[in-house]
Amino acid sequence: MSPELTKQLYDKFPDLFKEKDLPPEQSNMCWGFECSDGWYNIIFTLCSLIQIHQKSQTPDYKPVVVQQVKEKFGTLRFYYTGGDDIIFGMVAYAEAISGMTCEVCGDKGTTDWKKSWVRTVCSKHIEN
């Protein structure tokens, strides 16, 4: 993901991404967002929903801390600690939506299994 979009996510959701400056032995967020810009809106929306949900929780609730965000087999992977079943559902939904969204531009996409690297792209980006 571009440095500009990465910064927007870090600035808007500092509590979720508080491990971004840790070394790789402690958190994979040191690598940033290992996907392209087309999934920015999915990630932004997911983080917004997580943040809203967490505001209404009891003091014993363990807040979400993101460990890694990446593409794998053509879909988003969002690894985290904390949260509850509602967060689990939110993440599962975001990961599923990514499988229908072009990772490059955010348009409607399909998963391309024909290449050596599986990606979800639209018709404009299938050759790139």
Top-confidence range, 55-59, 95-99, 117-121:
95-99
Euclidean distance between CA atoms 59 and 56, whole angstroms: 10
User: Which tokens is 71 given?
Assistant: 């593409």
Sheet strand arrangement including 33-34: 33-34, 65-72, 75-81
* 56 alpha carbon, distance to own chain's centre: 22
Give the least confident one: 5-19, 21-35, 113-127: 113-127
Mean pLDDT (the chain, rounded): 94
